[in-house]
Chains A and B, each alone.
Chain A
Amino acid sequence: MIAGLIFAISIMTLLQFFVSYSHSLIAESRGHELSEQAREISGITARAARGDQFRRLLQLIDLCPESGGDRSQVRAVSLYFGLLGFFRTLFAWIKPAIANWIESERGGCAYVAAVMLDRRIAYSRVLMARQMGNRL
């Protein structure tokens, strides 16, 4: 009885802590304004993105050279995105409100991926400019 109660409460707090922890990892990127070029490439027009854009954005990120060891951040966001997909499969049928919340979180992940892409594009430009400078 007590073990069951502890299990139920722990699962609830685990979800809350994990979601807040994931938010704290991506919060800085959420406040970032996307450049015109990144908007054009990613296809994101407003400040929000759709969850289904995430995979394509990850592929674009992989095409750019890594900037400042952001690989761990990309992995963290991918992990959170994957977990959201898992929870959507498990719980979304119970209540549509949960599905809406999960979709908004997945959109948030896609926006963060777009910000990372933006940073990598900027870094690629710096590298190219440096190379051009060396040739001259």
Chain B
Amino acid sequence: MTALGPVDYAIWLAVFLVEIASLVCLLKGKAFLQHFTIFLYLCSSLAVGIGRYSIIKTSGFDSNAYLYFYYYSDALLTICLYFILMSLYAHVFSDMGVSKYMRGGAMLLLAGTSAITYHMVAASTDRFVTHFVIELAQNLYFVGVLLTYLLWGAMVKLRENRTRLMHLVLSMGVYMSLFAGSYALGNLYSNLFVWRYFFPLIAMWLPVSWSYTFLKVPEDARIVTARVLVPNR
């Protein structure tokens, strides 16, 4: 049974503290109701962190129990991220009254990605359940990247100028791309020891960027979209 080393403990504690700090910033920035899905994600992530820690303590890092729990909880967190993305779509398109259709579309996409991934893994020769979950996480993150890219494109077209919203969408784009790319690379080179530290480290990006946004960017702050695209203008 592989136990946690000092580096693992330090990373786990850092992620836990950063998520709590982000929750505090969300409440302090009076954005709790407006961004309830972010609150939901942070609470789920904290619960998942505690769950992963207790499973490592009882069964070990290289146990099957941890492997299953890790990937299934990750898929659950990705679905929570979809909820955040849907709420961001709802914020951006709030004036047009199309957020209902956006939500429906995103849910359909989520179900479609899961079904296609299941079909792909079921058709392959090695029908491992873990294989399905790893593929699913990679594909969900990738569809998340495309959805965020689409949202950012729409924001640029609509000349969206709410700074907070812009920060939230762009940080989500960075996170989704980082995870989709890392999962894809992890699929190609799964035996690298770096992954053990890399995934928890990059998981800190969203809570850190949210903390900054809710603490430093006021709700009524506005920014010219062109300055974000071409800053030298």
* A contacts, CB < 8 Å to B: 3-4, 6-7, 9-11, 13-14, 16-18, 20-21, 23-28, 30-31, 48, 72-73, 76, 104-105, 108
> Which residues of the partner chain A approach B3 to less than 8 Å between Cβ atoms?
none
Q: How far is the CB of B194 from chain A (nearest CB, A)?
A: 15
Bound Cα distance from A72 to B170, whole angstroms = 18
Q: How far is the CB of A9 from chain B (nearest CB, A)?
A: 7
> Which residues of the partner chain B approach A16 to less than 8 Å between Cβ atoms?
173
Closest partner residue, chain A, to B172 (CB atom):
A17
Interface of A is mostly: helix
> Which residues of the partner chain A approach B142 to less than 8 Å between Cβ atoms?
6, 9-10
Tell which of B167, B177, B178, B187 touches A24, judged by Cβ atoms closer than 8 Å: B167
Q: Is B138 an interface residue (CB 8 A)?
A: yes
> Which residues of the partner chain B approach A26 to less than 8 Å between Cβ atoms?
231
> Which residues of the partner chain A approach B178 to less than 8 Å between Cβ atoms?
10, 14
CB atoms of B184 and A13 under 8 A apart = no
Q: Which of B32-40, B51-59, B220-228 contacts A (4 or more CB under 8 A)?
A: B220-228
Contact A6 B180, CB 8 Å, known A17-B173, A20-B170, A27-B224: yes
Known: A17-B148, A23-B231, A72-B212. 20 other contacts (CB 8 A): A3-B187, A4-B188, A6-B181, A10-B177, A10-B178, A10-B180, A11-B181, A13-B145, A14-B177, A14-B181, A16-B173, A21-B170, A21-B173, A24-B223, A24-B228, A27-B224, A27-B231, A30-B227, A31-B227, A105-B231
CB atoms of B216 and A24 under 8 A apart = no
Q: Is B152 an interface residue (CB 8 A)?
A: yes
Q: How far is the CB of A44 from chain B (nearest CB, A)?
A: 15
CB atoms of B229 and A23 under 8 A apart = yes
CB atoms of A13 and B173 under 8 A apart = yes
CB atoms of B181 and A27 under 8 A apart = no
Residue-wise, chain B 136-175 has the 8 Å CB interface mask toward A (1 for contact) of 0011001001001100100000000001001100110110
| Count of B interface residues, CB-CB < 8 Å | 33
Q: How far is the CB of B134 from chain A (nearest CB, A)?
A: 10
CB atoms of A11 and B177 under 8 A apart = yes
CB atoms of A18 and B232 under 8 A apart = no
Q: Is B111 an interface residue (CB 8 A)?
A: no
Bound Cα distance from A24 to B224, whole angstroms = 9
Q: How far is the CB of A50 from chain B (nearest CB, A)?
A: 13
Bound Cα distance from A13 to B179, whole angstroms = 12
CB atoms of B228 and A20 under 8 A apart = yes
Contact A7 B231, CB 8 Å, known A14-B177, A17-B177, A27-B224: no
CB atoms of B231 and A17 under 8 A apart = no
CB atoms of A17 and B232 under 8 A apart = no
> Which residues of the partner chain B approach A13 to less than 8 Å between Cβ atoms?
145, 149, 173, 177
Q: Which 7 A-B pairs have the closest CB atoms?
A: A10-B181, A17-B173, A14-B177, A7-B184, A21-B170, A6-B184, A3-B187
Closest partner residue, chain B, to A105 (CB atom):
B231
> Which residues of the partner chain A approach B173 to less than 8 Å between Cβ atoms?
13-14, 16-17, 20-21
> Which residues of the partner chain B approach A4 to less than 8 Å between Cβ atoms?
184, 188
> Which residues of the partner chain A approach B228 to less than 8 Å between Cβ atoms?
20, 23-24, 27
